[in-house]
Amino acid sequence: MIEVNHSKIKETNRKKIISLLLEKNEITKLDISRILDISITTVSTNIAQLKDMGVVEDVGTLESTGGRKAVTIKLDENCKYSIGIALTPNHIKLSLVNLRRRVIDSLSIRHKNDGIENIIKLTKENLDTIIKKYALNPSNLLGIAFSIPGTVDFKEGIIKYAYLLKTKDFNFKKEFEYLKVPIYIENEANLSAYYEFLNRKDEIENLLYVSITDGLGLGIVINNKIYRGDNNSAGELGHTKIAIDGKSCKCGAKGCLEAYTSMDVLIEKYNEKTKLNITDISEFEEKYNQFDKVTEEILDEYLKIFSLGISNLIMLLDPNSIVIGGDINNLLNDKIETLKNNIYKDNLFTNEDNCKISVASFRESYLLGAAMMPIEEFLEIK
Ligand SMILES: [Zn+2]
């Protein structure tokens, strides 16, 4: 005998209704029933329960054929919230979004990077402020997702190795369990890939996202899911080796691609050549925009090495689409043709028609990706 799991069907129906309400502004019960192919009785029961929960409300009446008026209903988009928090080597960035995925509030706080415990303390203080300000609690907060620049154990909520935050094997999730809401921790590049993917999920199933920040990361989405590897360390493109006994990398090894292609390499090379002392990538960008020859030479040299990494990635995974994002998007946009030429000039196996290379359209997509995770988990039909 096949056992029918009624509560599962009920939950699936409810999620389908919420997703449809998110899509449409106002809709009648009859239309919900027609579009989702669920009986009107089931729709009515669900809507009644959602009203009791404060999730939906009646908004008006539509003149229907035959003179009867049909009541339209609407979802209260502020009935549920989600929080994304990105920990970077200098900042704690926080975004509060509502069920319609709109950003309601954001914070960016500088930290001293003086140990994970201090970063957590500062995070909790700011999180508490937001929680109080919006009266968030386990019934209206769907969860909090953290973006970490390093490898993480997603299931256990452990930071495995994040040298940019000077921490290793740290049980991060435990620190936030007092909030009694789902806590997710995920690698920064994975979240960027996830966010780009969510915005294009009707067109694509696979996506590679290469992130250039203080490190060099790779997020892999395969068959609509983040691919994390058997040991949660997939996508460490930055630590693939390109030289024997090469330049020292922040991870502790030598000859890693990241040692030649993280964002700070541009600053470092510029200071080395000019004996000046710029500290921020925006200064480099500014000089480049003023047609400064040195910045252009450095960038061209940088792109030659970076292209090697991308070429190797294409050889390994044969993707249709690679998105490059992070902190130097403006520079990349200006040099996209050079980049493509570098990548494909020595490749006899594939070409640009097979794999589209583009620069990310969103900034801080890791933070937005984090904020989306609890919502997607809530709406996902398993
Ligand atoms: Zn390394």
What would the mean pLDDT of 159-184 be, rounded to a whole number? 96
Domain assignment present for residue 166? The answer is yes
Q: Which helix (H) or strand (E) holds 109?
A: strand 103-110
- The alpha carbon of 354 and the centre of ligand 1 are apart by a number of angstroms equal to 30
- The alpha carbon of 131 and the centre of ligand 1 are apart by a number of angstroms equal to 38
Q: Exposure of 75 by Cβ count < 10 A (0-12 exposed, 13-18 middle, 19+ buried)?
A: buried
Percent of the chain with pLDDT over 70: 96
- The alpha carbon of 74 and the centre of ligand 1 are apart by a number of angstroms equal to 51
Picking from 54, 75, 96, the residue at the C-terminal end of a domain is 75
Q: Is the pLDDT of residue 66 over 80?
A: no
CB-based contact 14:50 (threshold 8 Å): yes
Q: Which domain holds residue 246?
A: 203-361
Do 94 and 216 belong to one domain?
Answer: no
- The alpha carbon of 239 and the centre of ligand 1 are apart by a number of angstroms equal to 4
Buried-state track 160-199, b at ≥16 Cβ within 10 A, e below 16: bbbebbebeebebbebbeebebbbbbbbbbbbbbbbbbbe
Number of domains comprising the chain: 3
- The alpha carbon of 368 and the centre of ligand 1 are apart by a number of angstroms equal to 27
Do 333 and 251 belong to one domain?
Answer: yes
Confidence label for 1 from pLDDT (cuts 50, 70 and 90): very low
- The alpha carbon of 169 and the centre of ligand 1 are apart by a number of angstroms equal to 17
- The alpha carbon of 250 and the centre of ligand 1 are apart by a number of angstroms equal to 6
Q: Is the pLDDT of residue 53 over 90?
A: no
- The alpha carbon of 218 and the centre of ligand 1 are apart by a number of angstroms equal to 13
More confident residue, 371 or 347: 371
Q: Where are the beta strands (DSSP E) in 300-342?
A: 321-326
CB-based contact 154:188 (threshold 8 Å): no
What would the mean pLDDT of 152-161 be, rounded to a whole number? 96
- The alpha carbon of 225 and the centre of ligand 1 are apart by a number of angstroms equal to 26
- The alpha carbon of 251 and the centre of ligand 1 are apart by a number of angstroms equal to 4
Percent of the chain with pLDDT over 90: 78
Cα separation, 294 vs 289, whole angstroms: 12
Q: Is the pLDDT of residue 2 over 60?
A: no
Q: Is the pLDDT of residue 62 over 70?
A: no
What would the mean pLDDT of 348-370 be, rounded to a whole number? 89
What would the mean pLDDT of 237-264 be, rounded to a whole number? 96
Do 207 and 101 belong to one domain?
Answer: no
pLDDT of amino acid 3: 53
- The alpha carbon of 183 and the centre of ligand 1 are apart by a number of angstroms equal to 28
Do 273 and 314 belong to one domain?
Answer: yes
CB-based contact 328:360 (threshold 8 Å): no
pLDDT of amino acid 63: 66
What would the mean pLDDT of 209-231 be, rounded to a whole number? 94
- The alpha carbon of 371 and the centre of ligand 1 are apart by a number of angstroms equal to 28
